[in-house]
C-alpha cells in the first residue's frame, strides 16, 4: 500500500475490480486494466462476514476523489496488523478496523505496484458516503464524490489510540479556521526560490500554506510562481489549457526550485521536476493553483 499524507482513507483493491475512464461528456466508460495500473496481489473480497472477524458495512459506501482519478467500493471491518509500527519494535494490531475495498477505479489512481492506499491525512477528508448518495448518479456525472461525506475512525486515529506517536516525520500546523474549507494538516511555506526565464534567481517571500502529499507527483503553487518556473524550463514548458498541466520534452532541463520551511531551504531534485505518463508524454511537476483557496494545497517534498 502507498502511504499517502494527502488522503485519510485506507483502501485495498479487490480482486474483482473493474477499470473505468472518464469520457469527454463527464460520464464513465469501461476501460482495459492497463488504464488502471496496480500491483498483482489484490484483496480477495469475501463479500460477507467470516469466522475470523471480517464484516461488511452495507449502510455506507466508499467513493474517493484523488488527483489521478477516483475510487469506488465498499466499507468493511477486519483486524489490521502493522509490523514494528512507529517506535514500537513489536507488531501492532487493530481489531475491527474500518477500511474500504475498491471494486472500481477511474483512471490511474495507483502507481502500477501498490494495490491500495494507507491514508495518513487529516481525518475530516475521508470519503465515506451514505446510501442516499447514488453511485449511479456519480458515475453518470450528475453527482459528486465530494457530496455527503461522513467521518469515521481512520487507521491513523486507531494507531494513535493504540500507542503510536501522533505524527509521521513532518512538523505540521492546522489551516486557520477563517481560511479553511474543512481542515487539513499543513506546513507554512516561507518562500520559494527559483530560476526565472531570464536566467536570474528570484526569491518570492509571499508565504502560503501547503499540504505535504506523499501520494502524488505534482506541486500546486501560486499562479505567478508556477508560470515563471515552467517558462524557465529549457525548452520552456507548454501549458495545456484543457488540463492545466504543462508539457515538456522528456529531456528538457528544468530550472532550480527551492522551498523554504522553518528557515531551511529544501531543493527539489531535477529528477522530480518532470514526470511521464504511460503514453510517454512528459510533464512539469509544477502546476498553478486554480484559485486562491488551492494555492499550495499540495507539495511534493524532495526525496
Q: Residue 206: helix, strand or coil by DSSP?
A: coil
Signed CA dihedral, 250, 253, 259, 263: sign only: positive
Task: Given the residues 4, 9, 78, 228, select the one marked as catalytic.
Answer: 4
In angstroms, the CA 33 to CA 30 distance is: 10
In angstroms, the CA 106 to CA 282 distance is: 21
Cβ atoms 226, 283 nearer than 8 A: no
Q: Provide the terminal-to-terminal Cα distance of the chain, rounded to the nearest Å.
A: 18
For residue 176, the 8-state DSSP code is: P
- 57 a catalytic residue: no
The DSSP line for 131-173 is TTS-HHHHHTTSS-TTSS-B----HHHHHHHTT--S--S---E
Q: How many CA atoms lie within 13 A of 20 on its CB side?
A: 20
Q: Cell numbers at residue 227, please?
A: 508560470
Cβ atoms 300, 219 nearer than 8 A: yes
> Residue 13: which of 47, 40, 31, 51 has the closest Cα?
40
Cβ atoms 299, 189 nearer than 8 A: yes
How far, in Å, are 157, 189, 260 from residue 300 at the CA level?
Answer: 24, 12, 13
Q: Give one word for 202, left, alpha or beta, with left for phi > 0 and alpha for psi -120 to 50.
A: beta
Q: Cell numbers at residue 87, please?
A: 517506535
User: What contacts 249, CB < 8 A, 6 or more positions away?
Assistant: 235, 282
Task: Given the residues 9, 70, 78, 213, select the one marked as catalytic.
Answer: 213
- 9 a catalytic residue: no
- Report the catalytic residues: 4, 213
Amino acid at each position: 500500500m502507498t502511504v499517502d499524507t494527502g488522503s485519510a482513507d485506507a483502501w485495498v483493491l479487490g480482486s474483482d475490480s473493474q477499470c473505468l475512464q472518464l469520457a469527454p461528456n463527464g460520464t464513465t466508460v469501461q476501460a482495459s486494466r492497463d488504464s488502471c495500473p496496480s500491483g498483482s496481489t489484490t484483496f480477495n473480497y469475501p463479500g460477507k462476514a467470516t469466522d475470523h472477524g471480517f464484516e461488511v458495512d452495507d449502510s455506507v459506501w466508499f467513493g474517493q476523489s484523488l488527483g489521478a482519478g477516483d475510487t469506488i467500493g465498499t466499507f468493511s471491518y477486519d483486524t489490521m496488523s502493522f509490523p514494528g509500527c512507529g517506535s514500537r519494535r513489536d507488531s501492532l494490531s487493530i481489531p475491527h478496523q474500518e477500511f474500504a475495498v475498491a471494486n472500481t477505479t477511474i483512471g490511474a489512481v495507483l502507481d502500477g505496484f501498490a494495490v491500495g492506499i494507507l491514508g495518513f491525512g487529516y481525518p475530516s477528508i475521508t470519503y465515506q458516503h451514505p446510501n442516499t448518495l447514488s453511485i449511479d448518479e456519480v458515475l453518470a456525472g450528475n453527482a459528486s464524490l465530494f457530496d455527503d461525506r461522513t467521518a469515521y475512525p481512520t487507521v491513523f486515529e486507531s494507531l494513535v489510540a493504540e500507542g503510536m506517536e501522533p505524527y509521521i516525520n513532518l512538523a505540521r500546523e492546522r489551516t486557520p479556521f477563517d481560511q479553511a474549507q474543512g481542515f487539513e494538516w499543513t506546513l507554512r511555506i516561507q518562500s520559494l526560490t527559483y530560476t526565472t526565464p531570464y536566467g536570474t534567481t528570484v526569491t518570492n517571500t509571499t508565504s502560503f500554506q501547503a499540504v505535504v502529499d506523499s501520494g502524488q507527483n505534482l506541486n500546486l503553487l501560486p499562479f505567478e510562481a508556477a508560470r515563471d518556473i515552467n517558462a524557465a524550463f529549457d525548452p520552456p514548458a507548454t501549458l495545456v489549457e484543457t488540463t492545466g498541466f504543462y508539457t515538456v520534452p522528456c529531456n528538457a532541463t528544468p530550472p532550480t526550485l527551492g522551498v523554504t520551511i522553518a528557515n531551511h531551504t529544501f531543493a527539489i531534485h531535477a529528477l522530480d521536476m518532470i514526470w511521464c505518463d504511460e503514453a510517454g508524454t512528459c510533464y512539469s511537476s509544477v502546476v498553478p493553483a486554480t484559485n486562491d483557496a488551492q494555492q499550495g494545497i499540495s507539495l511534493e517534498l524532495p526525496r
